[in-house]
């Protein structure tokens, strides 16, 4: 992939949130390998700096729940990958309202604020790519994940509106909806489920996470990043709102 796409995004700037680990880290590497200059956005300072150093990017240490900090992010990105997220598992009647609000701030309001700032630059250049890392939970629900499911459904709606508004300006907006990916967030869920059910982590993956999936393995972050990169490629210029 590196040799084929080595200069595909030369001269472009990409902003990736949650880029210090997991899917975001893989996306930062993929976009950099394709020639983009990458803003590595994450609240984990040392990890973000490590990724930025590896790819020749710029680390921006930001808490996405802080609206003022989000509004201070660069506005000159040609590519935005809204990836950052967090999870909380609890029945609705026990779900902490402040935790629900935090998840919406990070996973819905922050992407909106980032796009509000960066779209004028994309419109001026007649080119832009928005890729929102959604989830299977952007398409269907799971019990005990009210905040996460709500946020992902909202991100889907935001993405479709951006697709309609951006189309006349050469800007596409799409979602990537993976199932369970081998990330720190999912690994934390696996450990918690194993403890709650008194079974091994391997059994959690096989019996709970992958029970209804066709492909009986965790998806690797690099596979998601490859889909993100493809949506930035010339061949995907006619795909938007998907």
Q: Within 10 Å of residue 2's Cβ, how many Cβ atoms?
A: 10
Q: What is the pTM of this model?
A: 0.91
167 and 79, same domain (yes or no) = yes
Cβ partners under 8 Å of residue 48, min gap 6:
19, 20, 40, 41, 42, 59, 60, 61
In a domain, 7, yes or no: no
In a domain, 139, yes or no: yes
How far is residue 85's CA from residue 16's CA, in Å, rounded to a whole number? Answer: 12
Marked catalytic residue, from 39, 123, 144, 148: 148
| pLDDT tens-place string over residues 81-116 | 999 999 999 999 999 999 999 999 999 999 999 999
37 and 133, same domain (yes or no) = yes
- Return the residue matching tokens 């999912």: 186
In a domain, 59, yes or no: yes
Question: CATH number, domain at 224?
Answer: 3.40.50.720
Listed residue (68, 69, 81) closest to 13, CA to CA: 81
List of E strands, 20-99 = 37-42, 58-61, 79-82
| pLDDT tens-place string over residues 11-22 | 999 999 999 999
Domain count, the chain: 2
Residue 134 lies in domain:
13-179+220-236
In a domain, 6, yes or no: no
| pLDDT tens-place string over residues 109-158 | 999 999 999 999 999 999 999 999 999 899 999 999 999 999 999 999 99
75 and 187, same domain (yes or no) = no
89 and 188, same domain (yes or no) = no
22 and 104, same domain (yes or no) = yes
100 and 186, same domain (yes or no) = no
Q: Is 39 a catalytic residue?
A: no
230 and 184, same domain (yes or no) = no
187 and 86, same domain (yes or no) = no
């Amino acid at each position: 992939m590196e040799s084929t796409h080595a200069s595909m995004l030369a001269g472009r700037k990409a902003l990736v949130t949650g880029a210090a680990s997991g899917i975001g880290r893989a996306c930062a590497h993929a976009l950099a390998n394709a020639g983009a200059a990458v803003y590595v956005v994450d609240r984990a300072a040392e990890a973000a700096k490590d990724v930025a150093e590896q790819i020749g990017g710029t680390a921006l240490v930001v808490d996405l729940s802080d609206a003022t900090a989000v509004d201070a992010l660069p506005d000159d990105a040609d590519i935005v990958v809204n990836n950052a997220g967090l999870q909380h598992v609890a029945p609705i009647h026990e779900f902490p309202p402040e935790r629900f609000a935090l998840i919406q701030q990070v996973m819905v309001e922050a992407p909106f604020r980032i796009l509000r700032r960066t779209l004028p630059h994309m419109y001026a250049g007649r080119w832009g790519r928005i890729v929102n890392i959604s989830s299977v939970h952007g398409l269907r629900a799971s019990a005990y994940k009210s905040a996460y499911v709500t946020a992902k459904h909202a991100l889907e709606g935001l993405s479709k509106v951006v697709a309609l508004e951006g189309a006349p300006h050469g800007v596409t907006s799409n979602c990537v909806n993976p199932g369970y990916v081998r990330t720190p967030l999912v690994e934390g869920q696996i450990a918690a489920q194993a403890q709650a059910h008194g079974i091994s982590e391997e059994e959690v993956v096989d019996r709970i996470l992958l029970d209804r999936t066709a492909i009986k393995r965790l998806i690797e972050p690099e596979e998601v990043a490859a889909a993100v990169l493809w949506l930035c490629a010339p061949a995907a210029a006619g795909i938007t709102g998907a």
